[in-house]
């Protein structure tokens, strides 16, 4: 398969999952909390988020864990190698919702409206995840055309896949097109951004690894961590 | 008759030696005999229509191969190759597909650029002598719209529009077959269908949905099953015989054009041909085409057979300064807020008016439509008197819009009707003629006849009309309301098209407008009103509409009405179990903090101070006690972080009230805390939460922000004589800065106790880095700080 530069895609956030907002805000799902406040936050996040995604698909060599771009990128870390162990291609994805929402979150804290700040931050996380899921749907379509299924997303920072790879991943995704960059400490800017690898696995040849992303994540104190 | 298309071209060319990564269309010039051979194989296998080898022969796709200057040459050569393979009755369809770029608003490609790209290709195909244009394998309705418009401009040949759907029955960008059919039929497609992505089994329900949504012929070209990658090759599993048996089912469901897409070969087509022999098209159920307005992903039908539809009127800057400023400054935040809020209040269609004096309304309308069409799935009405703004809006809208409005004024008829026809919009017919506003219902009917007759001569259809009954102010003319009601009845009797009107004009100049509007709404619905344009926030109106839906039989068994009005458990906000009446003022204050009721705490604090309690008493007996309690509950999992923050906000309101009442009283602080996210780390949510909780637990907070270097932290700790330094890091890459900062503080002789936290930190790490404490969350940070200062 030839590598054709895929252009940016603007996902549509016509709804956000309130149960995900609750999870990211550290609220127990069955615990009563103002539904009005959650709904308002959900609407506000949809208004402030500017979702953008971009990805490129490269042939992948499992033996050397190499993404065959020019120059090739050899992936370090047993976890990511395992995740892509049946993949013949990998999509390199970058997604963001821009920085307007996070600026408003900071404003809320400055004004002493802490709860709104926390909930909006959680809604921002939900929004960027939803945008990434939509991009993954388009990637799945590309994979299906080749006779492949896709793996779940696997991001730098999961398990032993070090975040220091971010600059390389951003370059492979062509993330400058959507204005996502990494700081010297390999943090993404805007902060509500995601990068990930999605493997293309030949259909029916192997069960696609459905890695629990929380399980793979090093942030053991994350208040949104799913029960494992 | 059933028309049989050919099958896949790309895989056949690869089998004939086309190298991987080579432009397939280049063979139209370089190796035409191989292209002809593929066509001939399909003709011999029974194809009635063969598709040119031009799937990617547009300027953008060809640019990947440096061939963007050869659009005309490659397309012309492709048609010539097809002609050489034709039998005496074979027809040729010029194949057109995606540019590979997404059109705005889903991508960055301008609609006009996409249109130009398609115009160039389709003009070449048409000039070279194709019999059809087939626009296929499209996943974005907006790109399909651009290609269809270009095809309409470039040729008089029949145009086939085929989208690719996923297993969920929608295109990847959310369009369902019914919505696609409504949009494309209105824009002038001749045949509608689907191809690629799915096998015939998955396409069967799509054919059925198309058959129930359009009267146009249906074409269908499935893949030979779902592909599999075997030994590096993409293979399609369905045998030719299986394909043939599926063709019969597709025809029975309503398809009259059947062929194959990826993985199909001449053998598959031969089997399809065999299945089609002597088959007559299935009798299609006679469907009544109702007036429909759509977004990209949602269809709303209007008319007497459907529930009353609210058209939300609030995206209109007339007389609304804040909204006008939002539009003028290009923010569109308030526009978006109005969109979401109106839908939540019950609107189904949103009217969009950008009539801010002095702005570029064309640009504003385009931006509004682009922003709203990615924010909400409700169909839009484009409300303008400016033809340029109207065209910008129609062009940008990936759906079928309602134009608000077309009167019988000559300039409006001349400029708006062609745009409505071109972009497949419905029109709101406004009975106003050059002579002015007609007073009687009969005059209104006469004007509507004039508008619709003119529209039909322009190629519009009955299902394109929505009639406005015209509402005049009853305070100025006591017969105004009766005349409108009479107009609605005449519209229903004489036309049967759905009706609308700007309802709230009726009450202008009178008190309790909501009451008059609601009563008028109920009477209008009874007289035949289908889609009122109104303010959906009006509670009385919502009540009337909910009741009317039950009465008119549009709310089966009153189900929605019951959900709305039956007494229900109030799940609103109770963050903690309501307790009994508080014993004293301190207990009352504690309760407001625990419940996070920041508005309620203010009068209680004032009352406590007025009763002679000191601020120290209030703080210790009520506020701190409450925060301690909620902190404990957080620790045991009885409450969660948002509730803790609501409590902190309530504390803040309480402290601010004390300051307002006793401005000169100095409050004693537990200690000064320097807070920072360390150098290189730009995350600050956790640090902000800690700051909020500590501040409202009596600490003086110096928040240095994020990405703060060790030297600054050392300097500020000394300058403020800090008792605590709180450091935060979220990423493994910035953890070393925790060690570095602690070392710097110690080297500088800082006496401050150091607390660290953040997602990647642990108790062990804190110890080895030399911190005095580790806090896994904000509540723990408060407790640790108090312990370290001996104030727990």
pLDDT tens track for B372-395: 999 999 999 999 999 999 999 999
Flag the least confident range among A197-201, B573-577, B770-774. Answer: B573-577
State how far the Cα of B325 lies from the Cα of B313, in Å rounded to an integer: 18
State how far the Cα of B505 lies from the Cα of B470, in Å rounded to an integer: 9
Best CA proximity match to B352, nearest among B329, B318, B325, B321: B318
Taking only residues 60 to 79 of chain B, the set having a beta carbon closer than 8 angstroms to any beta carbon of chain A reads 64
Contact B221, B197 (CB under 8 A): no
When pLDDT is cut at 50, 70 and 90, the band that residue B731 belongs to is confident
Taking only residues 78 to 117 of chain A, the set having a beta carbon closer than 8 angstroms to any beta carbon of chain B reads 88, 105-106, 109, 112-115, 117
Mean per-residue pLDDT of chain B: 93
φ, ψ for residue B262, nearest 5 deg? -55, 135
The token pair at B249 is 């089912």
Output the CA angle B174-B179-B185, nearest 5 degrees: 135
Q: Which residues from A are below 8 Å from B172, CB to CB? A: 137-138, 141
When pLDDT is cut at 50, 70 and 90, the band that residue A47 belongs to is very high
The mean pLDDT value for A41-57 works out to 96
Across the interface, of B102, B336, B596, the residue whose CB is closest to A9 is: B102
Q: Name the packing angle between helices B141-154 and B177-187 (round to 10°).
A: 20
Q: Which residues of B42-81 are buried (b: 16+ CB within 10 A; e: fewer)?
A: bbebbbbbbbbbbbbbbbbbbeebebeebbbebbbbbbbb
What pLDDT score was predicted for residue A62? Answer: 95
Share of chain B above pLDDT 90, in %: 82
Q: Kindly tell me if the per-residue pLDDT of B505 is higher than 50.
A: yes
Q: Provide long-range contacts, Cβ within 8 A and 24+ apart, for B237-241.
A: B238/B199, B238/B200, B238/B263, B238/B268, B240/B265, B240/B267, B240/B268, B240/B270, B240/B271, B241/B271
What pLDDT score was predicted for residue B577? Answer: 47
State how far the Cα of B448 lies from the Cα of B705, in Å rounded to an integer: 65
The token pair at B572 is 């609103």
3-state class of B603 per DSSP? helix
The conformation of residue A151, written as its DSSP 8-state character, comes to: P
The mean pLDDT value for A54-67 works out to 96
CA–centroid distance for B113 within its chain: 23
The token pair at B200 is 């015939």
Q: Name B161's bridge partners.
A: B135, B192
Those residues whose C-beta lies under 8 Å from the C-beta of residue A145, and which sit 6 or more positions away, are B197, B227, B234, B262
What pTM does this model have?
0.88
Chain A nearest-CA distance from B217, in A, is 27
The mean pLDDT value for A37-57 works out to 95
State how far the Cα of B655 lies from the Cα of B623, in Å rounded to an integer: 9
pLDDT tens track for B677-698: 999 998 888 899 999 999 988 8
φ, ψ for residue B192, nearest 5 deg? -125, 140
Tell which wins on pLDDT, B274 or A221.
B274
Cβ–Cβ contact B100 with A under 8 A: yes
Contact A58, A84 (CB under 8 A): no
Contact B463, B214 (CB under 8 A): no
What pLDDT score was predicted for residue B163? Answer: 98
- Locate all alpha helices (DSSP H) within B195-317, ordered by sequence: 200-211, 240-252, 266-276
Contact B310, B347 (CB under 8 A): yes
| Domain boundary assignment for chain A | 18-202
State how far the Cα of B462 lies from the Cα of B162, in Å rounded to an integer: 25
The conformation of residue A185, written as its DSSP 8-state character, comes to: T
* Kind and range of the H or E run holding B718: helix B710-719
The token pair at A31 is 């615990």
State how far the Cα of B52 lies from the Cα of B24, in Å rounded to an integer: 11
State how far the Cα of B555 lies from the Cα of B63, in Å rounded to an integer: 55
State how far the Cα of B35 lies from the Cα of B6, in Å rounded to an integer: 13
Across the interface, of B174, B197, B762, the residue whose CB is closest to A12 is: B174
State how far the Cα of B53 lies from the Cα of B74, in Å rounded to an integer: 9
Cβ–Cβ contact A224 with B under 8 A: no
Cβ–Cβ contact B685 with A under 8 A: yes
Contact B474, B506 (CB under 8 A): yes
What pLDDT score was predicted for residue A1? Answer: 47
What pLDDT score was predicted for residue B575? Answer: 46
Cβ–Cβ contact B375 with A under 8 A: yes
Cβ–Cβ contact B14 with A under 8 A: no
The conformation of residue B707, written as its DSSP 8-state character, comes to: S
Q: How many CB atoms lie within 10 A of CB B720?
A: 14
Contact B163, B139 (CB under 8 A): yes
Share of chain A above pLDDT 70, in %: 86
Please indicate whether, in this complex, the C-beta atoms of B688 and A43 are within 8 angstroms of each other: no
Those residues whose C-beta lies under 8 Å from the C-beta of residue B783, and which sit 6 or more positions away, are B631, B775, B792
Please indicate whether, in this complex, the C-beta atoms of A219 and B760 are within 8 angstroms of each other: yes
Q: Kindly tell me if the per-residue pLDDT of A223 is higher than 80.
A: no
* Kind and range of the H or E run holding B610: helix B598-610
The token pair at A168 is 């390389």
State how far the Cα of B485 lies from the Cα of B419, in Å rounded to an integer: 31
Q: Kindly tell me if the per-residue pLDDT of A210 is higher than 60.
A: no
3-state class of B405 per DSSP? strand
Contact B771, B781 (CB under 8 A): no
**3-state percent breakdown (helix, strand, coil) of chain A, nearest 5:** 40, 20, 40
Please indicate whether, in this complex, the C-beta atoms of A7 and B108 are within 8 angstroms of each other: yes
3-state class of B691 per DSSP? helix
Q: Does domain A18-202 have CATH number 3.40.109.40?
A: yes
3-state class of A149 per DSSP? strand
Counting every residue written for chain A, the total comes to 228
Name the closest residue on chain B to residue A201, using Cα atoms.
B229
The token pair at B461 is 């259809």
Q: How many CB atoms lie within 10 A of CB B102?
A: 23
Best CA proximity match to B770, nearest among B782, B756, B758: B756
Please indicate whether, in this complex, the C-beta atoms of B575 and A223 are within 8 angstroms of each other: no
Tell which wins on pLDDT, B226 or A106.
A106
Q: Which of the residues B645, B653, B701, B774 would you substitute to probe the A interface, choosing the one with the greatest number of A C-beta atoms within 10 Å?
A: B645
Q: What is the ipTM of this complex?
A: 0.84
Mean per-residue pLDDT of chain A: 89
Contact A154, A66 (CB under 8 A): no
Q: How many CB atoms lie within 10 A of CB B135?
A: 26
Q: Which residues from A are below 8 Å from B20, CB to CB? A: 1-2
Q: Kindly tell me if the per-residue pLDDT of B669 is higher than 90.
A: no
Cβ–Cβ contact A27 with B under 8 A: yes
When pLDDT is cut at 50, 70 and 90, the band that residue B792 belongs to is low
Chain A nearest-CA distance from B211, in A, is 26
Q: Which residues from B are below 8 Å from A219, CB to CB? A: 730, 759-760
What pLDDT score was predicted for residue A220? Answer: 60
CA–centroid distance for B692 within its chain: 35
Across the interface, of B640, B646, B762, the residue whose CB is closest to A26 is: B640
Best CA proximity match to B153, nearest among B115, B180, B191: B115
Please indicate whether, in this complex, the C-beta atoms of B575 and A32 are within 8 angstroms of each other: yes
What's the Cα-to-Cα distance from A121 to each of A42, A124, B211, B293, B418, rounded to whole Å? 11, 5, 46, 36, 47
Contact B92, B83 (CB under 8 A): yes
Share of chain A above pLDDT 90, in %: 75
């Amino acid at each position: 398969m030839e590598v054709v530069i895929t252009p940016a895609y603007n996902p549509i956030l016509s709804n956000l999952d309130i149960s995900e907002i609750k999870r990211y805000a550290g609220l127990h799902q069955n615990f009563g909390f103002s539904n009005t406040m959650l709904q308002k936050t959900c609407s506000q996040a949809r208004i402030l988020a500017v979702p953008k995604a971009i990805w490129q698909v490269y042939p992948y060599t499992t033996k050397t864990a190499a993404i065959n771009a020019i120059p090739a990128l050899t992936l370090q870390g047993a976890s990511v190698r395992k995740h892509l162990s049946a993949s013949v291609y990998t999509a390199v994805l970058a997604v963001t919702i821009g920085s307007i929402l996070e600026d408003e979150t900071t404003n809320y804290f400055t004004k002493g409206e802490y709860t709104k700040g926390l909930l909006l931050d959680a809604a921002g996380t939900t929004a960027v995840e939803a945008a990434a899921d939509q991009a993954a749907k388009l990637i799945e379509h590309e994979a299906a055309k080749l006779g492949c299924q896709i793996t779940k997303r696997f991001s730098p920072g999961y398990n032993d896949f070090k975040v220091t790879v971010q600059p390389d991943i951003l370059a492979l995704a062509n993330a400058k097109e959507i204005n996502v960059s990494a700081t010297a400490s390999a943090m993404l800017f805007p902060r509500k951004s995601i990068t990930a690898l999605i493997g293309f696995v030949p259909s029916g040849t192997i069960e696609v690894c459905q890695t629990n992303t929380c399980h793979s994540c090093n942030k053991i104190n994350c208040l949104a961590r799913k029960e494992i | 008759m059933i028309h049989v298309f050919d099958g896949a071209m790309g895989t056949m060319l690869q089998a004939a030696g086309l190298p991987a990564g080579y432009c397939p269309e280049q063979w139209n010039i370089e190796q035409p005999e191989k292209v002809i051979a593929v066509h001939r194989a399909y003709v011999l296998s029974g194809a009635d229509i063969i598709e040119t080898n031009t799937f990617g022969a547009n300027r953008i796709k060809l640019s990947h191969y440096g061939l963007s200057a050869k659009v005309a040459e490659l397309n012309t050569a492709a048609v010539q190759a097809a002609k050489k393979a034709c039998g005496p009755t074979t027809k040729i369809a010029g194949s057109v597909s995606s540019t590979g770029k997404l059109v705005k608003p889903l991508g960055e490609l301008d609609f006009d650029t996409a249109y130009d790209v398609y115009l160039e290709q389709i003009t070449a195909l048409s000039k070279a002598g194709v019999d059809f244009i087939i626009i296929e394998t499209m996943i974005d309705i907006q790109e399909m719209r651009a290609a269809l418009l270009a095809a309409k401009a470039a040729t008089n040949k029949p145009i086939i529009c085929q989208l690719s759907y996923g297993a969920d029955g929608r295109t990847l960008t959310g369009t369902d077959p019914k919505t696609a059919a409504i949009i494309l039929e209105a824009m002038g497609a001749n045949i509608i269908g689907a191809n690629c992505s799915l096998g015939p089994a998955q396409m069967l329900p799509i054919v059925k949905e198309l058959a129930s949504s359009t009267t146009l012929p249906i074409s269908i070209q499935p893949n030979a099953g779902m592909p599999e990658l075997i030994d590096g090759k993409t293979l399609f599993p369905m045998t030719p015989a299986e394909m043939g048996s599926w063709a019969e089912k597709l025809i029975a469901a309503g398809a009259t054009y059947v062929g194959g897409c990826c993985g199909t070969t001449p053998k598959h087509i031969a089997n399809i041909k065999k299945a089609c022999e002597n088959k007559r098209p299935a009798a299609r159920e006679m469907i009544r085409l109702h007036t429909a307005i759509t977004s990209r992903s949602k269809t709303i039908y209007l008319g007497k057979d459907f529930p009353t539809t609210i058209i939300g009127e609030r995206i209109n800057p007339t007389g609304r300064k804040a909204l006008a400023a939002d539009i003028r400054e290009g923010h569109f935040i308030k526009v978006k807020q109005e969109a979401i809020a109106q839908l939540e209040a019950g609107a189904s269609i949103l009217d969009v008016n950008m009539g801010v004096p002095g702005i570029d309304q064309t640009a504003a309308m385009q931006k509004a439509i682009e922003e709203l069409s990615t924010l909400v799935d409700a169909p839009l009405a484009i409300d303008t008197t400016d033809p340029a703004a109207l065209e910008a809006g129609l062009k940008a809208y990936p759906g079928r819009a309602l134009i608000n409005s077309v009167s019988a004024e000559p300039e409006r008829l001349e400029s708006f009707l062609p745009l409505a026809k071109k972009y497949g919009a419905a029109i709101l017919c406004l009975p106003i003629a050059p002579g002015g506003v007609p007073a009687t219902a009969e005059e209104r009917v006469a004007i509507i006849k004039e508008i619709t007759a003119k529209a039909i001569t322009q190629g519009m259809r009955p299902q394109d009309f929505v009639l406005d009954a015209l509402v005049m102010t009853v305070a100025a003319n006591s017969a105004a309301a009766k005349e409108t009601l009479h107009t609605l009845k005449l519209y229903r009797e004489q036309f049967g098209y759905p009706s609308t009107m700007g309802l709230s004009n009726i009450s202008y100049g009178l008190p309790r407008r909501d009451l008059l509007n609601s009563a008028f709404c109920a009477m209008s619905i009874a007289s035949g009103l289908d889609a009122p344009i109104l303010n959906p926030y009006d509670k009385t109106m919502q009540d009337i509409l909910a009741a009317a839906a039950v009465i008119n039989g549009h709310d089966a068994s009153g189900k929605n009405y019951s959900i709305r009005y039956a007494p229900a458990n109030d799940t609103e906000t109770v963050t903690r179990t309501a307790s009994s009446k508080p014993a004293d003022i301190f207990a009352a204050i504690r309760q407001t903090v625990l419940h996070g009721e920041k508005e309620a705490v203010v009068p209680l604090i004032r009352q406590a101070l007025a009763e002679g309690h000191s601020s120290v008493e209030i703080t210790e007996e009520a506020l701190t006690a409450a925060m301690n309690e909620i902190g404990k509950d957080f620790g045991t999992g009885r409450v969660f972080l948002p509730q803790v923050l609501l409590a902190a906000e309530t504390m803040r309101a309480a402290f601010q009230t004390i300051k307002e009442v006793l401005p000169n009283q100095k409050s004693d602080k537990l200690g000064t805390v320097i807070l920072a996210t360390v150098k290189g780390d730009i995350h600050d949510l956790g640090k902000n939460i800690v700051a909020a909780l500590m501040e409202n637990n009596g600490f003086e907070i110096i928040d240095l922000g994020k990405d703060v270097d060790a030297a600054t932290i050392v300097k500020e700790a000394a300058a403020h004589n800090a008792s605590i330094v709180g450091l935060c890091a979220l990423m493994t890459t910035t953890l070393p800065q925790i060690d570095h900062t602690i070392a710097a503080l110690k080297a500088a002789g800082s006496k401050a106790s150091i607390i660290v936290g953040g997602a990647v930190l642990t108790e062990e790490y804190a110890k080895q880095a030399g911190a005095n404490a580790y806090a896994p969350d904000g509540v723990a940070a408060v407790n640790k700080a108090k312990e370290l200062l001996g104030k727990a």
